[in-house]
Amino acid sequence: MKRSLWLLLLFAMAVLCGAAPALFAQEKQLPAQPRRYKPRSAVFPLKNAKALLPQIMTQSASGSTVPLWSYSLVSPFDNKSYSGQMVGRSPLFHGQRTTTVKTYLVPVILTFADTGIVFDPTTNDACLGNSVLSTVQNSPIFQTTDYIMNGVDVGSAQYIDAFQRANFWTNVSVAGNSYHTVLGLTTLPAVKVTVPVANGQTNLGIFCGFFGNMDINWWDNYVQTTLIPSLASKGVGPTNLPLFLFDSVVEYLNGDPNQCCVFGYHNSYTPNGVLQTYSISNFDTTATFGGDIGTLSHEVGEWMDDPLTTNPTPAWGNTGQVSGCQNNLEVGDPLSGTLFPSVTMNNFTYNPQELAFFSWFYRQAPSIGAGGAYSNNSTFTSGAATCP
């Protein structure tokens, strides 16, 4: 009975998805659909970060982990001192420097044991009319185009690089087009992982196909103990960013499938005492959650501006995906669900997420961001409100 039901569902979705390529002829864009699931935040602060920080900065200076720079300021909001680290080189002192971080894009083929359904970003996705992998490779995350942010031409760049230029525009604009933090893309062969019944379930998508939902703690433990070590022979290590890509798979929190859905996250740990950063992103083709590179832009932006997930800020909240108050420099969370104007390239219309500026978190006035705004598409026009 159960097998017959799944076969019927598969047939029905196949018929629906079979028409998808015709719908996506010319410019392909997933249609907006109501969301059934609320995005959830997953923040994994580096354990013992304060004690490890001197060691990590020494590693960065010697080139044994990703390049990092430190900032410090007194926030006019509360007259308290704050400091943190970001990926790249300081726009304050190296405004004419380009930094490239080698980025390994790792497609993950996930087989869910509860149904045997396979979520494969490397093959043609009938709902998308292309593979998730090629769509992401050709996206603004890795390809360059010219960006206007808050009425200011911030130059030709990858999306997150353009955001970071806009983020510190007062400092980098004086150096023209010299300051960049670039993702140097290398795509690795796909890795295959089976999600046990106890750690993941298959669900029917709203528009097309199925999506997977798996335990984030089980998955993240697998990444750290098995996946990243197994990729060392391919070049993956502390000096680069491994970026794991899913096709229509999300995660749940606290071992509870009802605490869905984490669309992606970034994390760090210190195997053998050396800092390793990494990130995970879902690309939804089912229109259950909406967006395409929204999650990827969210997580890579946060990786760049809060790589240890420990950069402190005055408390802010009740915006984006955050209910209540948060006090870290996670540039995507305050604007989750708010998209930057679409970017069309390689016959696909991409929808990156809008991101919050440094000045928004620390309530700097005036903002040092492009156009004097507090986010890269002017949704925020002043610093964060008091929370609570």
Q: Enter the tokens of residue 76.
A: 């006019």
0.75 exceeded by the pTM? yes
| Position 202 pLDDT exceeds 90 | yes
- The contacts of residue 144 (CB under 8 Å, 6+ apart) are 156, 157, 158
Q: Confidence class of residue 1 from pLDDT cuts 50, 70 and 90?
A: very low
In the prediction, which pLDDT does 31 show?
A: 37
**Residue written as tokens 């300021």?**
73
In the prediction, which pLDDT does 289 show?
A: 86
Q: Using one digit for the tens of pLDDT, what is the confidence trace for 66-83?
A: 999 999 999 999 999 999
Q: How far apart are CA 260 and CA 203, in angstroms?
A: 12
CB 243 within 8 A of CB 281: yes
CB 327 within 8 A of CB 342: no
Q: What is the DSSP letter of 375?
A: B
| Position 3 pLDDT exceeds 50 | no
Q: Using one digit for the tens of pLDDT, what is the confidence trace for 14-65?
A: 333 333 332 222 333 333 333 455 555 566 778 788 889 999 999 999 999 9
Taking phi first (over 0 means left), then psi (-120 to 50 degrees means alpha), and beta for anything else, what does residue 354 get? beta
Mean per-residue pLDDT, 128-148: 97
CB 298 within 8 A of CB 284: no
CB 54 within 8 A of CB 309: no
Q: Using one digit for the tens of pLDDT, what is the confidence trace for 82-95?
A: 999 999 999 986 55
DSSP assignment of 266-277 equals EEEE-GGGS-EE
- Per-chain mean pLDDT for the chain: 89
Q: Confidence class of residue 336 from pLDDT cuts 50, 70 and 90?
A: very high
| Position 10 pLDDT exceeds 80 | no
CB 101 within 8 A of CB 183: yes
339, β-bridge pairs: 353
Q: Confidence class of residue 232 from pLDDT cuts 50, 70 and 90?
A: very high
* Strand spans (E) along 35-97: 68-74, 81-87
Q: Domain ranges for the chain, please list them.
A: 37-314
Mean per-residue pLDDT, 2-9: 32
Q: Enter the tokens of residue 210.
A: 């199925």
Q: In 118-214, which residue ranges form alpha helices assigned H by DSSP?
A: 132-137, 159-167, 169-172
Q: Of 283, 301, 300, 279, whose CA–CA distance to 292 is shortest?
A: 283
Report phi then psi at 19, rounded to 5.
Answer: -85, -10
Q: How far apart are CA 299 and CA 297, in angstroms?
A: 6
Q: How far apart are CA 65 and CA 75, in angstroms?
A: 29
277, β-bridge pairs: 268
Q: Of 23, 40, 14, 4, whose CA–CA distance to 262 is shortest?
A: 40
CB 337 within 8 A of CB 320: yes
**Residue written as tokens 């680290």?**
85
In the prediction, which pLDDT does 43 show?
A: 67
Q: Using one digit for the tens of pLDDT, what is the confidence trace for 311-335?
A: 999 999 999 999 999 999 999 999 9
Q: Of 270, 267, 222, whose CA–CA distance to 242 is shortest?
A: 267
| Position 259 pLDDT exceeds 50 | yes
The percent of residues above 90 in pLDDT, for the chain, comes to 81
